[in-house]
Amino acid sequence: MKTVHINRKINFENTLFFYLCNMHISAKELGLFLNGIVEGDASVEVTGPSKIEEGLEGTISFLAHPKYEQYAYTTKSSILLVSKDFKPEKPLNPTLIRVDNVYDSVAQLLDKFGGEIPQFAGVAEDIFIHEEASIGKNVSIGSFSVIEKGAIIGAGSKIYPQVYIGGNVILGENVKLYPGVKIFYNCKIGNNCTLHANVVIGSDGFGFAPLSDGSYNKIPQLGNVILEDNVEIGANTVVDRATMGSTIIHKGAKLDNLIQIAHNVEIGESTVIAAQAGIAGSSKIGKNALIGGQAGIVGHVELADGTRIQAQSGVNKSIKKASTALYGSPALDYNNYLRSYAVFRRLPELQQKINALEKRLAELTDNTEK
């Protein structure tokens, strides 16, 4: 039986929509909020953020990466957020706020002052909810969304327009599904997960059996996908269902846009994967791994906890040692790759030297024979 606990009316509202640029805040107030140390004029006020290289008077910028330090001495920003161990080489014009972790402090500021995009509340009229689906309290459902038989939607979840939720899908509490998300039958989504636009969960795994005539017979994909709590997946990423059992993304994992996760893959908790990476079937990624953009991982391998893979690297074997850093294709130990790169980038030059040495050796041989 369909259960809806909220008025069936879309009500767009700008909840918490007070940007930093709409208010004045002083360096002293920011320092207290971030538990930071203020150096300079604590009374200076800002009305918004700006990039350090484009800093304007009345704005706050941040310095988190050494390659941008040059702009710290030229920026016109009124306040500059830096780490507590930052040691300027030249005089600085902005008031400094020193914090333990610059990125974390920026995230706090954006969370507090950035607000959220305009949200909707309620359930639209132009949707389909099967009578045997269950909808929790305070759930919002946007236009043209479909919720099939046996689906369970947890309290406080937000389902944006044009979302498809298949039969027997279980959605946890406070889940956000942005427009165009598709979750196919029997998949399970944990609490506080966020799936951005056009994410596909539970599409068929890529399984085909070769036949004697050279054609392929499709192998039924009967498993599902499980996302544990606090997983976030970027736009247009696809997570295939398992052939049997489950494709699993453990709690706290973060996936960027345009990623392919194949059938029966398991991704450890708090692992982060950048855009355009691909993980082939039945591979297991440990927790707290960092996988760079466009990296590729072959099937049926295991990567230890804390494995770090540079962008565009290709991993073709299991990694058993925790916190191993890899680079290249096929991937090598990071430091070995750098040493190798120092050699093979000079191969044309080395070839010329070898040719010259061979020529000289031939001349000496001829002279000796004479």
Residue by residue, pLDDT tens for the chain (370 residues) are 344 433 333 333 332 233 444 568 999 999 999 999 999 999 999 988 899 999 999 999 999 999 999 999 999 999 999 999 999 999 999 999 999 999 999 988 877 766 555 666 789 999 999 999 999 999 999 999 999 999 999 999 999 999 999 999 999 999 999 999 999 999 999 999 999 999 999 999 999 999 999 999 999 999 999 999 999 999 999 999 999 999 999 999 999 999 999 999 999 999 999 999 999 999 999 999 999 999 999 999 999 999 999 999 999 999 999 999 999 888 878 788 788 777 878 888 888 888 988 888 888 887 776 6
- Looking at CATH, the fold of the domain delimited by 181-330 is given as UDP N-Acetylglucosamine Acyltransferase; domain 1 (2.160.10)
The structural domains of the chain, with segments of one domain joined by +, span 20-113, 181-330, 343-370
In whole angstroms, give the CA distance from residue 300 to residue 59. Answer: 50
Structure tokens at 346: 């000079």
Give every CB contact of residue 351 below 8 A, 6+ residues apart in sequence.
Answer: none
Structure tokens at 293: 């953009």
| Total Cβ atoms within 10 A of residue 206 | 16
List residues with catalytic annotation: 263
Range 20-113: architecture per CATH: 3-Layer(aba) Sandwich (3.40)
* Cis peptide leading into residue 330 (ω within 30°): yes
In whole angstroms, give the CA distance from residue 264 to residue 242. Answer: 5
